[in-house]
Homo-oligomer: A and B are copies of this chain.
């Protein structure tokens, strides 16, 4: 026997002295096989170091026990915690996870979805709702089970998310309550990102409600990166009437802004208040701690996994899961300074 060749089902069958069907059953539905033959087969499997070939199995059974997730980016920790929980819950159910990233690009997202479907993903996790009709149509056409996370989806969608508008509005209200009137935003890029857009809308809504002009809100759109936040902060503070509070679209931007403010000689929150969104690890590590919106990413990831698995099984379920967020006060948000001459 050629030891270097991968053993196949046939080989196992021959060694165990049974048919291929029996070996297959032994591996997939052990109950349908006598304990005696099962033993023989399993020891043959062990002896040969047999590992079933995924392609063959997928082809024959039309099941891959694999789901895919297309996330915008792996570059920072935004999606890490939620995805980790998602993966853990899937693993529990014996399902594998394939992760792909789109770079916030609609074409790439579509391509990745196609690839995942081609790989036979039994279901797919997508982030947010912003995608072209074409992509939606593709998903619908092949009836691919699909769960949307991180956002509240439409009535036709299955989603496990949170209300970005309401959460942003809540933290903006908090900022306003601290007496801030000149408020600016450092946001993620809103193209193909409904979360970023929703958070801006939420802040505008809070301003409007407080009798402040929502159009007056200066928004810097940048990539989610520490240094980009710094550049944006410098631009904002160079204005003739710089803001006294900056609401950041997420914690990467928030932490970047805090660091940049400090390097600019500003004291947070005395001179300038800064808030974030997500409550990832580093929000608690910077000095001062970042006041932010806590998103229970793990809970969301677990719920998303459950929803997707149920959907694949065709079981009845909650098609709409809304996750509550909360505000964590850490110190980067404080009262508006009396004099507003800073930065002039």
Q: Residues of A at under 8 Å CB distance from B?
A: 3-4, 6, 49, 51-59, 64, 74-77, 80, 83-84, 87, 96, 98-99, 114-115, 117-120, 138, 141-143, 226, 255-256, 259, 262, 281-282, 284-287
How distant is the Cα of A84 from the Cα of B73 in the complex, in angstroms? 10
Q: Is the interface of A mostly helix, strand, loop or mixed?
A: helix
In contact, B74 and A255 (Cβ under 8 angstroms): no
Report copies per complex: 2
How distant is the Cα of A286 from the Cα of B286 in the complex, in angstroms? 6
In contact, B80 and A75 (Cβ under 8 angstroms): yes
In contact, B49 and A54 (Cβ under 8 angstroms): no
Shortest C-beta distance, A118 to chain B (Å), equals: 4
Q: Which chain B residue has the least Cβ–Cβ distance from A66?
A: B119
Shortest C-beta distance, A314 to chain B (Å), equals: 14
How distant is the Cα of A115 from the Cα of B64 in the complex, in angstroms? 13
In contact, B98 and A53 (Cβ under 8 angstroms): no
Residues A59 and B51 in contact in the complex (CB < 8 Å), given A4-B143, A255-B285: no
Could you say which of B53, B115, B117, B142 contacts A96, with CB atoms under 8 Å apart? B115
Residues A54 and B287 in contact in the complex (CB < 8 Å), given A49-B138, A49-B141, A96-B115: no
Chain B residues within an 8 Å CB radius of A74: 80, 83-84, 87
A-B contact pairs, 24 of them (CB 8 A): A4-B142, A6-B142, A49-B138, A49-B142, A51-B115, A51-B117, A53-B59, A54-B120, A55-B55, A55-B57, A55-B58, A56-B59, A59-B59, A74-B80, A74-B87, A76-B281, A98-B98, A226-B281, A226-B284, A226-B285, A255-B285, A262-B287, A286-B286, A287-B287
How distant is the Cα of A57 from the Cα of B259 in the complex, in angstroms? 50
